Structure 1
Amino acid sequence: MLLSLSDIGKGYETGGARVEVLGGVDLALAPGETVALTGESGSGKSTLLHLCAGLDRADRGRIEVAGQDLTHASERRLAALRRETVGLVFQQFNLIPSLDVAANLAFQARLAGRHDPDRAAKLADRLGLSGLLSRYPEQLSGGQQQRVAIGRALAIRPALLLADEPTGNLDEATGDAVMELMLELVAEAGAGLLMVTHSPRLAARLGRRVHLAGGRLAA
C-alpha cells in the first residue's frame, strides 16, 4: 500500500476537557488510487490529512507512507518525506508572496534536488501559467494561485498527493477546471490522491469515497 493507517487515534485538550477527534481510523490507499475523504465540519478530516503528512502525530496507531513508518520518525525524517514523497495542496494556496510564479513552482522541487527546467516548463504550460511566470501571487486570480500550488506539489513527482479542500476558495466553474486538471496530472504521474472535500459532486469524481463520522471511517 502507498498509504496505510491502522487504528489511528487523536485527541486534543480544550477548555480543560479531552476531546477525541479520531477514534480508531483504518485506511489503505494503493498507488494510483484516488480517494475522497468527506465528513461534517469538525469531524477531523483535516486532522487526519495532517497526520498523513507528518504535520502532526497520532496519539495511537500506525501510519505508513510509501513504506516509511511515520509513528516514531524524527522531525527531520518527516520533513524529508514532505520534500520528496508527499505533495500538499491546501485551500489557502500557501504560496510564497516574495517569489514569482516560476520560483513558486520550482520551490519544492529545488528543496528535493529534483528541479528539472524542461519539466517545469511543460508543467507550467499544462497549468496555463506560461505567460504568468514573472508575476507574483498577489497579481494572480484565486484559480491561478491554486494552479501554481498544484504545480508546486506535483513538480517533485510525489508518490502521494494530499489535498485539503483544494477548490474551496474558488467559484464552481473555476473549481471544476482546477479539479479536472489536478486529476489529469495526478493520473499522468501515477500518484495516489487523498482529497478532503465537502462536495458530494467533487467526491464522485474520485475513484473511491470514505466518510468520517464519530471518529471512524465508513465507505
Structure 2
Amino acid sequence: MLLRVTDLFKSFPGPDGPLPILNGISMVMEAGETLALTGESGSGKSTLLHLVGGLDQPDSGQVEIDGVDIGSLDDSGRAAIRRDKSGVIFQQFNLIPSLTIAANIAFQARLAGVEDKDWSADLAARMGLTDQLGKYPEQLSGGQQQRVAIARTLAARPSLVLADEPTGNLDEATADTVMDLMLTLVAETNAALLMVTHSQRLAERMGRRLHLRAGRVA
C-alpha cells in the first residue's frame, strides 16, 4: 500500500471556536492508481491534500506513505518525504522566478539527488517546452508555466503525485492537453496520482473518485 489515510481529523480556529474541516477521513491508494478528490468549496479537499503532502499536520489520525507515519516525523523528516516520495503540483505553479525554465524543471530532482538530465529533457520535449528552456517563468503563458510545474514534479520521479486543481487556471482545451500529458507520464512512472478538481469532466478521466461533503466521504 503506497498511501494509507486513517481516521483523519482537522479543524482550524474560528470566531466561535474550532471550525471542523475534516471529520474522520480514511482512504488508501496503491502505486499506479489515479484518484480524483471532488466536492464543493470548503469540503476539505485541499486540506486533505496538504495533510497527505506533509504540508500541515492533522489534529488526529494517520497519514502513512510507504509504511511511514509522516505525523511521527519532525519538519526535516516530512521535508525528506516530500523530497524523496511525494511531489506537489500547485494551482499557482510556484515556479522560481530567478531560475530559467530548465533550472526550474531540474530543481526538485536536484534537491532529491536524483537529477537525470535525459529524463528532464524528455519531459521538456513532451511538454512542448524545449524551445523555452532558456527563458524565465514570467516570459511564459499560464499553460506553459503549468507544464513546467508538472515537469518539475515528475522530474524527481515521485511515487505519489499530489495535484491541487492543476488545470484550474487554464482554458478547457489547454486543460485537456495538460491532463493528457500528466496521466501519460504518471502511468509510465507507475506513480499514484491524487488530484483535487472541481471539474467533473476531468474527474471522470481518473481511475477512482472520492467525493467529500462537509469534511466526510459522501
**TM score, norm. by length of structure 2:** 0.98
Alignment RMSD (CA, Å)? 0.8
Name the residue aligned to 1:133.
133
2:24 corresponding residue in structure 1: 24
Partners of 1:137 and 1:46 lie apart in 2 by 25
Unpaired runs of at least 5, structure 1:
none
- 1:189 maps to 189
> Which digits, 9 at most, give the CA deviation of each residue in 1:53-80, with x for residues without a partner?
0000000111101221112211111001
Q: Report the counterpart of residue 154 of structure 2 in structure 1.
A: 154
User: Retained in 1: the 8 A contact 2:44–2:214?
Assistant: no
Q: Supply the distance in 1 between the matched residues of 2:195 and 2:8 (Cα, whole angstroms).
A: 18
Secondary structure at the aligned position of 1:71 is classed as: helix
Shift >6 Å, 4+ stretches: none
The alpha-carbon deviation at position 16 of structure 1 amounts to: 3.9
**Does the residue aligned with 2:177 lie in a helix, a strand or coil?**
helix
Q: How does 1:41-52 map to 2 (within 5 A)?
A: 41-52=41-52
Deviates most, 72-81 or 10-19: 10-19
Aligned to 1:83: 83
2:42·2:214 contact (CA, 8 Å) conserved in 1? no
Partner in structure 2 of residue 3 of structure 1: 3
Percent sequence identity over matched residues? Answer: 61
- Give runs of aligned pairs for residues 1-219 of structure 1, distance below 5 A: 1-218=1-218
Shift of 1:19: 0.6
Find the aligned partners of 1:9 and 1:80 in 2 and give their Cα distance: 24
State the TM-score, normalizing by the size of structure 1: 0.98
Whole-Å separation in 2 of the counterparts to 1:158 and 1:61: 24
In the alignment, the residues of structure 1 paired with residue 194 and residue 120 of structure 2 have an alpha-carbon distance, to the nearest angstrom, of: 24
Q: Which amino acid aligns with 1:68?
A: V
Deviation at 1:18, TM superposition (A): 1.3
CA–CA distance in structure 2, aligned partners of residues 214 and 103 of structure 1: 40
Aligned residues: 218
Letter in 2 for 1:122: D
Query: Which ranges in structure 2 are unaligned for 5 or more consecutive residues?
Result: none
Which whole-Å CA distance do the structure 2 matches of 1:215 and 1:173 have between them?
31
Instruction: Describe the SS at the equivalent of 2:166.
Output: coil
Q: Which moved more, 1:123-132 or 1:47-56?
A: 123-132
Give the Cα separation in 1 of the matches to 2:2 and 2:149: 22
Q: Within 1, Cα distance between the matches of 2:202 and 2:157?
A: 24
Matching residue's letter, 1:203: A
Q: CA deviation at 1:120?
A: 1.2
Counterpart secondary structure, 2:61: strand
